[in-house]
Amino acid sequence: MLTHLLRLALLTLSLLLPSQIARAQDAAVDIPAQIAAMGEASLKELTQIVVELASTGDNGVVPVLTALADGNLYLDEASGRVVIQNGSTITDPLTGEAVDLGAEADLSRIRVNNGLRRDISAALSGMTLMSDNPATRLAAAQGFLSKPDAANLPLLDEAIAAETDANVRGAMQAARAVTILTSEDASIEDKNAAVPQVVAGAGRNAITILTGALADAPDEVKPTIEAAIAGLEQGRAVWGALQNVWFGVSLGSVLLLAAIGLAITFGVMGVINMAHGEMVMLGAYTTFLVQLVIRQNFPGLLDYSLLIALPVAFLVTGAIGVGIERGIIRWLYGRPLETLLATWGLSLILQQTVRSIFGPTNQMVIAPTWMSGSTDFFGLAITYNRFWIVIFALIVFFMLLLILNRTPLGLQMRAVTQNRRMASAMGIRTPFVDAMTFGLGSGIAGLAGVALTQIDNISPNLGQNYIIDSFMVVVFGGVGNLWGTFVGALTLGVANKFLEPYAGAVLGKILILVLIILFIQRRPRGLFALKGRAIEQ
Amino acid sequence: MLTQALFRALDKKAVWVIGIFLAVAVLVPMANLLIPPGQFGHVPTYLVSLLGKYLSYAILALALDLVWGYCGILSLGHSAFFALGGYAMGMYLMRQIGTRGVYGNPTLPDFMVFLNWKELPWYWLGFDNFWFAMAMVVVVPGLLAFIFGFFAFRSRVTGVYLSIITQAMTFALLLAFFRNDMGFGGNNGLTDFKDILGAPVQAQSTRVILFAATAIALALSVLVCSMIVNSKLGKVMVAVRDAESRTRFIGYRVEYVKLFAFTVSAIMAGIAGALYVPQVGIINPGEFEPGNSIEVVIWTAVGGRGTLIGPIIGAIVVNLGKSWFTSALPEFWLFALGALFIFVTLFLPKGIVGLWKQLFGIRRKKAEEPALPTPAQSVDIERGEDSATFDNPQIRPAE
């Protein structure tokens, strides 16, 4: 009953008053007097006062009404003043200035009930809808959108008519449409017309709103709503798919970085380097050390520490790789399975060494400013670090292609891959090529380590998390073919992200592993098998 | 026919090995039960269980040796078969807990009650019966190996590729068993066992019996492997290892030979797992860890692959070293293990067992037959796919 009265009052007011600017002056309401009256008013009188105050449209009354609703408005029994008490500070409700009531102050809270609270919030949104600030008006419109009430319709109509900002008007129209859709009195035609407006204006919440409205809607409107929901869901599915593709590409580029070095050593030399993951880990630790040095000695370069770490990591891990090749692997050529064991042993040693030096805890590498944050790309949230890693993976990949196809070393590598004995007979120093290949592969693993510092923890176990995935990529893509690795990494990345929503992260991964095992049955040499007599069975 | 195979299997070396482990199966329990504590020669109960653990590892290493040392298939997934056997045993032991669990539920294990499951999943049915569980210890790893091997060997997935997909298999199982909804206890696995066949698992007598059972199982494994290796099939296995393509061209169905070896080996690994679980008292997904499989490979390599005694020695020696290192110098265990990997592959291709021959045999051989190149050296063991091109030793590249 009370609320109806209020709504009626608001309705008449909003119809009577022509524009929001002229309001404060026109209204012959004595604001200070009304506020002072609040102290002794009954609930019924309070409602009346709230309506009166709201009708002024004066932004100055907003604090009073908010305080009243929140239970922060007090009456000082001693002086008869109405004040706002917020924690220990006592302020004047209109001016907002601090008030000193003296020692004999006796504050008692002005009581409100839930009905009055609702009235206050309705009054407040009605007022904010007419605010001078577009952001406030937008917020008010969104408030109406989430709590549609038929009684607010005239208010909205008036606000829409007066609105100049297209954005805000859109939100208001959506709010109006939702209100029409949920109200009991609106005609079928109005409701049908309202559906597209909800779709246009309500943004991401449109589906929820429409689904909510569907249950109570008359039968004639239901088909329209259902069609609108179907359309929205289709749109959402497309965007979801795009988002998944992006996540997949991002994961795939990480896999590509980790696997590409392996592809070279595996492809050219037939060497199973189980210590490859540790090269990635060493690259990450090199980045950490480079940043440490820069932070202590050249703080100005901190933003470029990753760029500086790139060549350093490449050289460090590349040199270690050459050392491993000369020290261990060259004694084991022709026995790939034993290389696997020896390099596994090596990986244990490297892990333990790093653990002994740096400790088992995770280390931190600070992201440069140009890599932190994210951007909204047509509704796709893209974080900059992921974005740069994708770019970086592509650069590394194409650089490697260039090296393999356009340099003498690349030519020699390809020759050795295709026919080692013939290459040797033509005067290529195959041991040198082997050492360089292994160094290159390890160096690229180091580069991957630099990139991974941005998305993963730097711990001695870093490499272990990637080694199995890298092998899957190489085996899936086919040995001795960089494009195979490229396609393999991206396929696995995207497939992983598409399976995740349906199967969960772990089950998705299991499915991928099973699919790879099955795939190897069909094509034992991977996606892009190297053809030629050397590989023939 | 069987007696003939048995007779052939029992060559002098195998008889010795089997005899030793049967003796161990009797002597160690006696030393534990009959000699009072404190007196010389007494074996404390914890040591009995520890030795039992080593012996179950030895069975696992022997199983791997059968496929790797004799058939040239480097499986990096044998810990999966081991763990599956262990889980089958663990499920039996869980069902034996009955109302003694924390929640006192007569049928559901504690973790299922905790997850609010109302009834036993179908794959847990029957595991309250010991003999059914023992059948599963054999059937589950065997079936997995059979199906996996059938497809892999039929499509001629060999060498490194096979190693990697077996690794993928055990990794997939690792992830699967970590999931709580799989119904195998998730992260924590199965533990807190009470009874096995009515006898308390922790009791001294049970532990001694479990040890004896493990030693006997090891002796039987040696017998079975010896029978296989000394049979005609065993010769074909070695042929597949040394020159797969040539064996195929001669007319043998290489894939069936491999499948047989792989399945038998997986069953042995499963039995080893089943014996392992009651002695250590827990089975969790960590047993599926791909690293574990690679460690089994190194036991075999250290001892000497392609022999029956080698992997047993390797498993026991490496694990003794591990026990000593992890208590005395925990920091250095990984260094030692890693160095062992590298040292053995570089300098001891035939392992400890081959050390004697390596040191003295080569010299003698050189004196006897100086010029002849020996065909089928270890060099091309792993290069089944290349051997068609490189089979003639005279034209093999000098790498």
Taking only the tens place, the pLDDT of each residue in A342-355 is 998 999 999 999 99
* A531 pLDDT above the threshold of 70: no
Lowest pLDDT segment from B131-140, B178-187, B315-324? B178-187
Higher pLDDT, A108 or B187: B187
pLDDT given at position A28: 57
| pLDDT tier at A188, thresholds 50, 70, 90 | confident
* A88 pLDDT above the threshold of 90: no
Q: Is residue B383 part of a domain?
A: no
pLDDT given at position B363: 57
Q: Is residue A317 part of a domain?
A: yes
Lowest pLDDT segment from A15-19, B155-159, B223-227? A15-19
**Chain A residues closer than 8 Å to B164 by CB:** 471-472, 475
3-state helix, strand, coil split of chain A in percent (to 5) is: 75, 5, 20
* A319 pLDDT above the threshold of 70: yes
B353 phi and psi angles, rounded to 5 deg: -60, -35
Neighbours of A164 (CB within 10 A): 7
| pLDDT tier at A394, thresholds 50, 70, 90 | very high
Query: How many domains does chain B contain in total?
Result: 1
Give the domain-ending residue among A461, A480, A515: A461
Q: Is residue A328 part of a domain?
A: yes
* A148 pLDDT above the threshold of 80: no
Q: Is residue B356 part of a domain?
A: yes
Higher pLDDT, B126 or A101: B126
**Chain B residues closer than 8 Å to A503 by CB:** none
* A21 pLDDT above the threshold of 50: no
Q: Is residue B182 part of a domain?
A: yes
* Span A293-301, average pLDDT: 88
Decide if B179 touches A, using CB distance below 8 A.
yes
Give the domain range for residue A56.
2-132
Those of residues 216-255 in B touching chain A at CB distance below 8 A are 245
Name A289's Cβ contacts closer than 8 Å, sequence gap at least 6.
none
Nearest by CB: A468 against B167, B298, B349: B167
Nearest by CB: A346 against B163, B338, B386: B338
Angle among Cα B42, B45, B49 to the nearest 5 degrees reads: 125
My answer on whether A257 and A123 are in the same domain is no
Give the domain-ending residue among A434, A461, A488: A461
For residue B151, give how far its alpha carbon lies from the nearest alpha carbon of chain A (Å): 6
| pLDDT tier at B1, thresholds 50, 70, 90 | low
Q: Is residue A13 part of a domain?
A: yes
Higher pLDDT, A93 or B20: B20
* Span B49-53, average pLDDT: 93
Q: How far apart are CA A527 and CA B208, in angstroms?
A: 54
* B365 pLDDT above the threshold of 60: no
My answer on whether A316 and A441 are in the same domain is yes
Q: How far apart are CA A192 and CA A106, in angstroms?
A: 58
Query: How many domains does chain A contain in total?
Result: 2
Higher pLDDT, A84 or B230: B230
* B398 pLDDT above the threshold of 60: no
* Span B338-357, average pLDDT: 86
Decide if A527 touches B, using CB distance below 8 A.
no
pLDDT given at position A151: 67
Give the domain range for residue B77.
2-366
Is the CB of B163 less than 8 angstroms away from the CB of A516? no
Give A254's Cβ-side CA count (13 Å radius). Answer: 24
Decide if B187 touches A, using CB distance below 8 A.
no
CA-nearest of B284, B271, B353 to B59 is: B271
pLDDT given at position B76: 92
My answer on whether A249 and A118 are in the same domain is no
For residue B306, give how far its alpha carbon lies from the nearest alpha carbon of chain A (Å): 15
Give A186's Cβ-side CA count (13 Å radius). Answer: 26
| pLDDT tier at A169, thresholds 50, 70, 90 | confident
Q: Is residue B385 part of a domain?
A: no
pLDDT given at position B260: 96
**Chain A residues closer than 8 Å to B179 by CB:** 506-507
Q: Is residue A42 part of a domain?
A: yes
Q: Is residue A357 part of a domain?
A: yes
pLDDT given at position A204: 65
* Structural contact between residues A494 and A249, judged by C-beta atoms closer than 8 angstroms: yes
Q: Is residue B396 part of a domain?
A: no
For residue B83, give how far its alpha carbon lies from the nearest alpha carbon of chain A (Å): 17
Q: How far apart are CA B123 and CA B322, in angstroms?
A: 36
Average pLDDT in chain B = 85
Return the bridge partners of A206, or none: none
Q: Is residue B395 part of a domain?
A: no
pLDDT above 70 coverage of chain A, percent: 88
Q: Please state the pTM of the whole predicted model.
A: 0.74
Q: How far apart are CA A455 and CA A254, in angstroms?
A: 9
Q: Is residue A526 part of a domain?
A: no
Q: Is residue B375 part of a domain?
A: no
Quick: pLDDT tens for B149-186.
999 998 888 887 888 889 989 999 999 999 888 889 88
Q: Is residue B321 part of a domain?
A: yes
Decide if A276 touches B, using CB distance below 8 A.
no
Size of interface A-B (CB pairs under 8 A): 148
Nearest by CB: B74 against A337, A472, A536: A337
Q: How far apart are CA B157 and CA B148, in angstroms?
A: 11
* Span B131-158, average pLDDT: 93
A484 SS3 class: helix
pLDDT given at position B388: 37
Give the domain-ending residue among A92, A115, A132: A132
For A20, A395, B362, B372, B378, the CA distances from B369, given in Å and listed in that order, are 113, 58, 10, 6, 18
* Structural contact between residues B304 and B349, judged by C-beta atoms closer than 8 angstroms: no
* B384 pLDDT above the threshold of 50: no
Quick: pLDDT tens for A461-503.
888 888 888 888 888 888 767 888 999 999 999 988 888 878 7
Return the bridge partners of A73, or none: A84
